[in-house]
Each structure stands twice: as C-alpha cells, then as structure tokens.
Amino acid sequence: MLYKIHSHAQIQALQARSDELGHSNDMQVNLVSLESVRIARESYALLCPLIMESRSWACPELDSLSVVAGLSLEIQKLEDDVLPQLMVLEAKLERGALEALLLMKNSAIKLLHLSKCFKEALGLVLDEEDLVSARVEELSIVLKDIAVHVLEYNCNIAWIQVRLPWLVQRVTDVLETPVRFRDSNEY
C-alpha cells in the first residue's frame, strides 16, 4: 500500500489509522511536503515511531525529515531562548549577552551544516524548489555576521538590539517556510 503525505494532518491521520492498517502489512509512506519547517519536529516525532515499530513499513524521506526536524529545533531554540535574551539586556555586553551571542554563532554553524545535509538528501533534482536550504543558509550567514561583529569588534548591545526585530522576522520567515521532499516515486 502507498500512502503519500502532503501535510502534518496526514501524518496525524496515519497515526490514528495505524492499528487499522496493521503493522504487518507492507506500507510505503512517501513524504512529499509539509506546511512549514516549524511543524517538522512534531511530524518527525509522530512518523518515526510508526516506521520504526513496523518491519514492513518504509519511508525513504524519514532521514530528510529528521534533518528538517533538527533545523526546526535549532531555529526554535533561537526564537524562544537566545533572541529574547538579547532583547532584555542592558546596553553593555555582560555575561548573559556574551553567552547568547556565542549560542547564536554556534547555531549559525549548526544551521549551515544541517542545510547542507538537507540539500544532499534532496539531491540536485529539487534544487530550484528547495526554499528551506536557501533561507536557512541566508539566516546562518546573518546570525554569524552579527555575532562575530559584536564579539570581535566590541560593539555594544544597543547595536544588536536595533537589528533584533529584523532578525526575529527572518527567523519566523524560515520557520514558516514550506518543506518539499523528494518524492521517491517520481524518480
């Protein structure tokens, strides 16, 4: 049986029907797309156990989904923890600001690596359709440039706070980017 997934709701529906479908029946689950990078963590948390629990179910895109889930986790960490910490700090670079900037720089490195992993998983076929990698790479560069600028050129926290609303919007834009996976049946 072939089950194509185009949304998180379809993963939820598959999970709800998994007992009915039976884990002993052969099932090919093709992940075609998701609504956003943000939902990828939850989608992976639902889909991975379904595939792993059954020897006869397969999802060729599960590795790609795990990469996007990692991107989602890292970007949401920025959104929820790191950037808010920079917004409330005083005008000088104190310990909290330095830690947040180091985390931001490390996130930039992780995001760039995960973006390359996702690109490799997609292959060259969907290069034009892959908005996720391009936006993540751009965000990674911006994060690193801002962190390095402040850390190496001794700028004060006011310099970064002026740029934070724009940076928060970039993070939100990446999290809301639709994800398209390589449909293994098309190739």
pLDDT beyond 60 at 187? no
Q: What's the confidence (pLDDT) of residue 78?
A: 94
Give the residue among 123, 141, 139 at the shortest CA–CA distance from 63. 123
The C-alpha atoms of residue 63 and residue 40 are separated, in whole angstroms, by: 12
Across the strands, what pairs with 5?
31
pLDDT beyond 60 at 74? yes
- Residues recorded for the chain: 187
The C-alpha atoms of residue 72 and residue 132 are separated, in whole angstroms, by: 11
Q: How confident is the model at residue 186 (pLDDT cuts 50, 70, 90)?
A: low
pLDDT beyond 50 at 167? yes
In this predicted model, what pLDDT tens digit does every residue of 14-61 receive, in sequence order? 988 887 777 667 889 999 999 999 999 999 999 999 998 887 889 999
In this predicted model, what pLDDT tens digit does every residue of 125-163 receive, in sequence order? 555 667 899 999 999 999 999 888 888 876 777 788 888
The C-alpha atoms of residue 1 and residue 139 are separated, in whole angstroms, by: 39
Q: Which two tokens stand for residue 168?
A: 């928060």
Question: Which DSSP symbol is given to 2?
Answer: E
The C-alpha atoms of residue 141 and residue 137 are separated, in whole angstroms, by: 6
Q: Name the percent of the chain lying above pLDDT 70.
A: 89
Higher pLDDT, 117 or 41: 41
In this predicted model, what pLDDT tens digit does every residue of 82-109 receive, in sequence order? 988 887 765 456 677 788 889 999 999 9
Domain coordinates in residue numbering, the chain = 2-62, 63-180
pTM of the entire predicted model: 0.87
For residue 7, the SS3 value is coil
Give the residue among 167, 183, 58, 74 at the shortest CA–CA distance from 129. 183
Q: How far is CA 75 from the centre of its chain?
A: 6
